């Protein structure tokens, strides 16, 4: 997954998982923002999977059932 991260004018960091709309998070450090965005992305994907929704193939290594 591609994650973009940049520092805001106020010093906070923001990270966004590009392939997962809505998966963006702030942190006091770059590492914290990245970690929070990754956690949120996984929660979003788990929720979509649980509700039978589709999501892009992001290489998690789970083959689709036929």
What DSSP assignment string belongs to 17-39? ETTSTT-EEEESSHHHHHHHHHH
- Which candidate, 11, 57, 52, places its Cα nearest to that of 30? 11
pLDDT computed for residue 49 by the predictor: 87
Residue 3: is it exposed, middle or buried by C-beta count within 10 angstroms (0-12/13-18/19+)?
middle
pLDDT computed for residue 31 by the predictor: 95
pLDDT computed for residue 59 by the predictor: 62
Q: Per residue of the chain (66 residues), what is the pLDDT tens digit?
A: 789 999 999 999 999 999 888 999 999 999 999 999 999 999 999 998 899 887 666 665 555 443
Question: What pTM does this model have?
Answer: 0.79
Neighbours of 55 (CB within 10 A): 15
pLDDT computed for residue 19 by the predictor: 87
Neighbours of 30 (CB within 10 A): 14
């Amino acid at each position: 997954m591609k994650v973009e991260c940049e520092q805001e004018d106020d010093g906070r960091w923001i990270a966004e998982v590009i392939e997962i709309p809505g998966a963006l998070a702030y942190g006091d450090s770059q590492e914290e923002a990245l970690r929070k965005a990754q956690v949120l992305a996984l929660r979003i994907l788990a929720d979509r999977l649980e509700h039978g929704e589709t999501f892009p193939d992001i290489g998690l290594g789970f083959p689709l059932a036929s």
